[in-house]
Amino acid sequence: MPSSSSPSIPTPATKMAHPTTTPPPATPTFLKLSFPAPRVLLVRMDRPSALNAMSTAAQWEMDSVWKWLDSEPSLSVAVITGTGRAFSAGADLKEWNNSMADDADPSKRMGNAPAFKPLSRRLGKKPVVAAVNGLAMGGGCEFVVNCDIVVAAEEAVFGLPEVKRGVAPIGGALPRLIRTVGLQRATEFALMGEPISAQKAHEWGIVNKVVPKDRVVEEAVRYAAAIAENSPDAIICARAGLRQGWESAAVERAVEVTLEREFAELQKGENILEGLKAFSEKRKPVWRGSRL
């Protein structure tokens, strides 16, 4: 089984209460939220009868959860997974088909809706770890491509089958795939529409680690818990620097932008002082919510 080495991080509690400074958004349609470790949010897509395909209402729920994550100071990182045999089959194609009948207002069609980018095109401030428990197809695969760390079950399958349905993968995966796997592999993946295994996704660099299905959420939470032990300000700043280089800027410009924005704010906060003081005093730092 192809796999990267396990991170040296603590095993979190399976479930715990997590007081937040603001209440989480309502998620009656699609998502279940929990807090499996300190400063970690677990987001579970819960529509197994439809392979966790996302209706427009479900996408609005996702949008509200990621905005809340970025604004909630008690949280540093999220994990996303699915219920059942799928991570997510992507957009609800039945709803999309019905929306095509609305010739009077094309803006209402699913592919044009503002919510049609809840994670696949999310920039955001805080990292998201994918725990891919099964099928990750279409928009579900685009979610994975945009996540910061990906743990996949051995039987997980990834694909962009949109071209087989007369659609195209326009949720943000294509330019990101080129940066991750290269033009030729990205072209093979997107234009053929054929799925790839978790093992191949690992070889291509899309997946960090492949594990048995019954461990996929646990491993993803372990990664998240390790990240969440660090300074909330530093997590946001470091991720911003990575994203600047990955998504848009030349190397030196990416450094300059991060220095001018996130690092400048980091230096105004309490966490940098606490981290340096804790190092000098040989103790574990006590972090405050991020100011970034």
Same domain assignment for residues 255 and 188? no
Q: Which residues of 98-132 are buried (b: 16+ CB within 10 A; e: fewer)?
A: ebeeeeeeeeebbeebebbbbbbebebbbbbbbbb
Catalytic residue among 90, 139, 140, 245: 139
User: What are the pLDDT digits (tens) for 243-265?
Assistant: 999 887 788 888 998 998 999 99
One domain for residues 151 and 268: no
Catalytic residue flag (residue 91): yes
Using the 3D structure, point to which of 228, 248, 267 is the last residue of a domain.
228
Residue 10 has pLDDT above 60, yes or no: no
- Please tell me which residue in 91, 156, 220, 240 is annotated as part of the active site: 91
pLDDT in tens, 148-206: 999 999 999 999 999 998 888 888 899 999 999 999 999 999 999 999 999 999 999 99
The DSSP H or E segment spanning 26 is none
Stretch 10-39: mean pLDDT: 79
Hunting for tokens 């089984």 — which residue is that?
1
| Predicted TM-score (pTM) of this structure | 0.88
Per 3-state DSSP, the chain is made up of helix, strand and coil in percentages (nearest 5) of 45, 15, 40
Decide if 162 is catalytic. yes
Q: Are residues 181 and 242 in the same domain?
A: no
Q: How many domains does the chain have?
A: 2
The reply to whether 266 and 138 lie within a common domain is no
Q: In the structure, what pLDDT confidence band is assigned to residue 33 with cuts at 50, 70 and 90?
A: very high
Q: What is the pLDDT of residue 1?
A: 44
Average pLDDT over residues 267-274: 92
Helix (H, G, I), strand (E, B) or coil at 135: strand
Q: Are 58 and 107 within one domain? A: yes
**Residues 218 and 239 placed together within one structural domain of the fold:** no
Shared domain check, 122 and 57 = yes
4 within domain boundaries: no
267 inside domain: yes
Query: Residue 246: inside a domain, yes or no?
Result: yes
At position 261, the amino acid (one-letter code) is: R
Highest mean pLDDT among 8-17, 36-45, 84-93: 36-45
Q: Which among 61, 72, 162, 219 is annotated as catalytic?
A: 162
Question: Looking at the structure, do residues 130 and 180 belong to the same domain, yes or no?
Answer: yes
Alpha-carbon Rg for the chain in angstroms: 19
Question: According to the model, what pLDDT value does residue 18 have?
Answer: 61
The reply to whether 224 and 237 lie within a common domain is no
pLDDT of residue 9: 46
Asked if residue 84 belongs to a domain, the reply is: yes
Instruction: Examine the residue annotation and report whether 256 is marked as an active-site residue of this protein.
Output: no
pLDDT of residue 254: 87
Identify the domain containing residue 264 by its residue range. Answer: 232-280
Q: Which of 142, 220, 228, 241 is catalytic?
A: 142
Residues 6+ apart with CB under 8 A from 250: none
Q: Is the pLDDT of residue 12 over 70?
A: no
Respond yes or no: is residue 142 known to be catalytic: yes
Model confidence over 83-130: pLDDT tens digits? 999 999 987 666 655 556 655 565 555 555 555 677 888 889 999 999
